[in-house]
A and B are shown apart, each in its own frame.
Chain A
Amino acid sequence: MPLTCDVVVIGAGVVGAACALYATRAGLDTVVVDRGPVAGGTTGAGEGNLLVSDKEPGPELELALLSARLWAELAREGLGKAVEYEAKGGVVVAGGEAARAGLEELAAGQRAAGVEAVPVPADRLTDLEPYLAPGLAGGVHYPQDAQVMPALAAAHLLRASGARLLTGREVTGVLRGTGGAVRGVRTDRGDLHAPAVVNAAGTWGGEVAARAGVTLPVLPRRGFVLVTEPLPPRVRHKVYAADYVADVASDSAALQTSPVVEGTPAGPVLIGASRERVGFDRSLSIPALRALAAGATRLFPFLAGVRAMRTYAGFRPYLPDHLPAIGPDPRAPGLHHACGHEGAGIGLATGTGHLIAQALTGRAPDLDLRPFRPDRFTEEAE
């Protein structure tokens, strides 16, 4: 059977787009296939956070730092405007003394790992954010935090990759040959033959893995984002309260809200996201929206008089240890995974794509991929 291409990427979200970009740059003939349109899943419901500030020292922070460098590089190459890249920086604030002490301890660890984290005393916070509420205990400024518009990022990374894009086409199975090696994918409109397949299906990554005969326990976490009416620029950075960090690493299934407040080039302020484990339930949760509004107006009192225009919900794909699955799957030679990035997929996309391209071309990866091994959960089960 003649080969269709060198690699099939399943998923036209931002992670799939970044995999396609770095794969084609590595000289691989790439096809991207998605059952929906570009950015039709979690990417389209994201905020576009490229954050290092919310990550504790460890493998995810290393991936975030690599990704931040790569995003900045892409922006310099000329993609910045198209994807609305803004190196705006983040400001994390603490409401009370205990939160401030915790935040400074985290920042010290992050600095040791290579993060720029500048403590900001309480009386200097308004230099960075003039409209912040009075009475905060202090904060930390993270100049490396940045922002892109997620759907534009996916679409323009895909266009820049030159990969062939097949939308509206569902992968119904992964073709396996002798010895279990991957030979391509079966879709509802014909087979695509390739020696390598990348699972960048986000929240549906577990389903794609199952179609290849392997398990990957990807679960959805629901998040709502509130969008305000367009405003003149008043919120300059990505601003959030220090309890956000605790929420990200949390295992609690209850509603937790940590409002990241940020302006956008188009004018609206984004507030998000809430975090709930409720399966794929898309129905409106007014309590979650109230909690977002309460958190945002606590940080920026002027927002109380600003109108929320709309809200959108999305499902963040996560794995039990809150790290993504990145790299080759020894259970199915030729199959690579690039999914499970939870609420950080936009930010971590570039590093993920870069590492996947290195794995596909047999080069040594820039980061140790062991913490991201896709088969790490099956071992535990055995």
Chain B
Amino acid sequence: MRTDLAVIGAGPAGLAAALAACARGVRVALVDAATEAGGQFYRQPAAGLRAGRPEALHHRWRTWERLRDGLAASAVRVLTDHHVWAVERGPDGFTVHALLGPEQEEPAEVHARAVILATGGYEQVLPFPGWTLPGVVTAGGAQAMLKGGLVVPGRRAVVAGSGPLLLPVATGLAAAGVEVAALVESTAPRRLAGHVPALAGKLAEGAGYAARLLRHRVPVLTRHTVVRAHGGGTMTPRPDGAMAPRTDGAPLRLTGVTVAALDGDGRVRPGTERHLPCDTLAVGHGMLPHTDLADGLGCRLDGLAVAVDAEQRTDVPGVWAAGEATGVGGAALALAEGHLAGRSAAARLRGTTPDPAPAAVKARTKLRRSAAALDSAYAPPAHWPEQVTDDTVICRCEEVTAGAVRDALDLGAGDERTVKLLTRAGMGWCQGRMCSTAVAGLAGCPPTPSRRPFARPVPLGVLARQHPQEGPS
């Protein structure tokens, strides 16, 4: 199909961008991989689940209602189930290459004069011994199960890691009836206190969560970390009720975690370890921007995020970016950035002067400041690699252990790329999205943006059919 503007990603940034642009008279296609608009933040329970009060699981439900109703009333073409694998720049615009879900075998193309990348972010999890056990889920994954499937991952959970996401996950699990044995946050409270002015709004939000944690009696352990997850379940009940060793080859399952206090340098304080029984560990260490499509288009990155100007324009003409892709800062910031991007793109497409909404500009400034403050406050323990034993799997797709990564470093690999070449860490299905920060950490290098020319795997037949000279040689 042909359109003026393709917005990729229907989360807060993409929704705001699409609505702003459409309201200013340009044709907009909103492209997303999911079955419904909303993104991760406004993830909706599947219709078949007949959720009675979906708003109970959501923060800022009214904003969602406004976006949802606005979208329904708008002329925006919503293309769900479109898994975008690349955006190609041509002489007269852009081609968004997608695969239709869920099989992702049939191609679909959207031709547009301009593109807004609202590709969001993904969760980062640092490895520790036992992190691959069934029962260990990502914090965002636990939240997605709650919001999208209306299911709880277990009966007794520990929520651990670092970052602002842990609070809603812990309170969400507790409200859904899960016993939350502890919220384990590696950041010290005084680090957050140091950013009070920039965090004004966020602290109020945090105070709300604190009250809910208290109400659900969730113990909060700050400056603590999970040092190991323990598995069990090799015994299974026989029909007569007695316990017998398993013969079905079923994997071990999480039975508990060892947590420990951290010292001022981010090292585990010896002698502070204690065991917390649980069947679920929801763990996360913050978010990373999705930059694959931007990188494929040749957009300049600033660190790990897409670089944009005051109008949310990238350095590639005709390409805007907004939301987590331009730096992780939460849904409210994504809405402001998306709105500004949509207005700018519409104006540029129509040849008029952009008229940025002063309120959105102001909100963006304030929210970026608090995002930066949160980012510098929340940090995984500085010496986390010390806790990673050689037998800990780092790359789950290719089953590469920390020991293999350390061997590669010994062979002369000095960076993430060479570790990947020598060990295959990061070469599997997820293309390093899960392990790349961990590999960089073990290598002692700062994380670098990975190059993923295919934002998702694409059948060779789809590529081949697009080749102009295809035919018998």
> Which residues of chain A have a CB within 8 Å of any CB of chain B?
12, 36-40, 44, 95-96, 99, 135, 151-152, 155-156, 158-159, 165, 167-168, 226-230, 241, 243, 266, 268, 271, 283-284, 286-287, 289-294, 296-298, 303-311
B193 CB → nearest A CB, Å: 39
26 sample A-B contacts, Cβ–Cβ < 8 Å, listed by A number: A38-B411, A38-B412, A38-B414, A38-B422, A39-B421, A40-B415, A40-B418, A152-B422, A165-B412, A167-B414, A227-B427, A283-B298, A290-B463, A290-B468, A294-B464, A294-B469, A296-B460, A296-B464, A297-B461, A304-B459, A304-B464, A307-B459, A308-B457, A309-B431, A310-B431, A310-B454
A71 CB → nearest B CB, Å: 19
Task: Using known A-B contacts A290-B464, A307-B460, determine if residue A38 contacts B413 with beta carbons closer than 8 Å.
Answer: yes
Q: Which of B427-473 contact A (CB under 8 A)?
A: 427-429, 431, 452-454, 457-461, 463-464, 466-470, 472-473
Q: Are A293 and B467 in contact (CB under 8 A)?
A: yes
Task: Using known A-B contacts A151-B418, A307-B458, A307-B459, determine if residue A291 contacts B469 with beta carbons closer than 8 Å.
Answer: yes
Task: Determine if B86 is an interface residue (Cβ-Cβ < 8 Å).
Answer: yes
What residues of A have a CB within 8 angstroms of the CB of B421 in the complex? 39, 44, 151-152
Task: Using known A-B contacts A40-B417, A167-B414, determine if residue A289 contacts B463 with beta carbons closer than 8 Å.
Answer: yes
Closest 9 CB pairs of A and B: A304-B461, A38-B412, A293-B463, A151-B421, A294-B467, A37-B414, A307-B457, A290-B467, A155-B411
What residues of A have a CB within 8 angstroms of the CB of B431 in the complex? 309-310
Q: Are B413 and A37 in contact (CB under 8 A)?
A: yes
Known: A304-B464, A310-B454. 20 other contacts (CB 8 A): A36-B414, A37-B417, A40-B417, A44-B418, A96-B473, A155-B408, A155-B411, A156-B411, A159-B412, A226-B460, A284-B453, A292-B463, A293-B467, A297-B464, A307-B458, A308-B457, A309-B427, A310-B427, A310-B431, A310-B453
> Which residues of chain B have a CB within 8 Å of any CB of chain A?
86, 88, 97, 105, 296, 298, 398, 408, 411-415, 417-418, 421-422, 424, 427-429, 431, 452-454, 457-461, 463-464, 466-470, 472-473
What residues of B have a CB within 8 angstroms of the CB of A38 in the complex? 411-414, 418, 422
The A contact surface, by secondary structure, is mixed
Q: Are B412 and A167 in contact (CB under 8 A)?
A: yes
What residues of A have a CB within 8 angstroms of the CB of B466 in the complex? 290
Q: Which of A135, A151, A284 contacts B296 (CB 8 A)?
A: A284
Q: Which residue, A156, A283, A286, has most C-beta atoms of chain B within 10 A?
A: A286
Q: Are B412 and A243 in contact (CB under 8 A)?
A: no
A376 CB → nearest B CB, Å: 33
Closest to A159 in B: B411
What residues of A have a CB within 8 angstroms of the CB of B454 in the complex? 308-311
What residues of B have a CB within 8 angstroms of the CB of A308 in the complex? 454, 457-460, 463
User: In the complex the two chains form, what is the Cα distance from A370 to B431 in whole Å?
Assistant: 46
User: In the complex the two chains form, what is the Cα distance from A237 to B428 in whole Å?
Assistant: 23
What residues of A have a CB within 8 angstroms of the CB of B468 in the complex? 290
Q: Are B463 and A298 in contact (CB under 8 A)?
A: no
What residues of B have a CB within 8 angstroms of the CB of A158 in the complex? 411-412
User: In the complex the two chains form, what is the Cα distance from A208 to B422 in whole Å?
Assistant: 26
Closest to A229 in B: B457
User: In the complex the two chains form, what is the Cα distance from A168 to B463 in whole Å?
Assistant: 38
A160 CB → nearest B CB, Å: 11
User: In the complex the two chains form, what is the Cα distance from A237 to B194 in whole Å?
Assistant: 62
What residues of A have a CB within 8 angstroms of the CB of B97 in the complex? 286
Q: Which of B88, B296, B412, B473 contacts A12 (CB 8 A)?
A: B412
User: In the complex the two chains form, what is the Cα distance from A292 to B469 in whole Å?
Assistant: 11
User: In the complex the two chains form, what is the Cα distance from A309 to B470 in whole Å?
Assistant: 22
User: In the complex the two chains form, what is the Cα distance from A4 to B414 in whole Å?
Assistant: 23
Task: Using known A-B contacts A286-B88, A289-B463, determine if residue A309 contacts B457 with beta carbons closer than 8 Å.
Answer: yes
What residues of A have a CB within 8 angstroms of the CB of B458 in the complex? 307-308
A154 CB → nearest B CB, Å: 8
What residues of A have a CB within 8 angstroms of the CB of B422 in the complex? 38-39, 151-152, 155
